[in-house]
Amino acid sequence: DQQVKQNSPSLSVQEGRISILNCDYTNSMFDYFLWYKKYPAEGPTFLISISSIKDKNEDGRFTVFLNKSAKHLSLHIVPSQPGDSAVYFCAASSNTGNQFYFGTGTSLTVIP
Amino acid sequence: DAGVIQSPRHEVTEMGQEVTLRCKPISGHDYLFWYRQTMMRGLELLIYFNNNVPIDDSGMPEDRFSAKMPNASFSTLKIQPSEPRDSAVYFCASSFRLHRTDTQYFGPGTRLTVL
Across the range B64-90, mean pLDDT stands at: 96
Pairwise CB contact (< 8 Å): B91 & A44 = yes
> What is the count of residue pairs from A and B with beta carbons less than 8 Å apart?
53
What residues of chain A score a pLDDT lower than 50?
A: none
CA-wise closest residue to B31 among B90, B104, B107, B109: B104
Q: Residue B103: pLDDT band by 50, 70, 90 thresholds? A: confident
Residues of B in contact with A106 (CB under 8 A): none
The pLDDT, as a whole number, for residue B99 is: 75
Pairwise CB contact (< 8 Å): A89 & B43 = yes
The pLDDT, as a whole number, for residue B2 is: 79
Burial class (CB in 10 A: 0-12, 13-18, 19+), B39: exposed
Pairwise CB contact (< 8 Å): A102 & B42 = yes
Residues of B in contact with A93 (CB under 8 A): 100
Across the range B66-90, mean pLDDT stands at: 96
Residues of A in contact with B103 (CB under 8 A): 46
The pLDDT, as a whole number, for residue B1 is: 63
* B94 vs B36: CA distance, rounded Å: 15
Q: Residue B100: pLDDT band by 50, 70, 90 thresholds? A: confident
pLDDT tens-digit profile of B11-65? 999 999 999 999 999 999 999 999 999 988 889 999 999 999 999 899 998 899 9
Mind telling me how many Å the CA of B37 is from chain A's nearest CA? 8
Amino acid letter, residue B10:
H
Mind telling me how many Å the CA of B102 is from chain A's nearest CA? 10
Task: Find the chain B residues whose C-beta atoms sit closer than 8 A to any C-beta of A.
Answer: 4, 9, 35, 39-45, 48, 56, 91, 93, 98, 100-101, 103-109
3-state secondary structure B34-70: EEEEECCCEEEEEEEEECCEEEECCCCCCCCEEEEEE
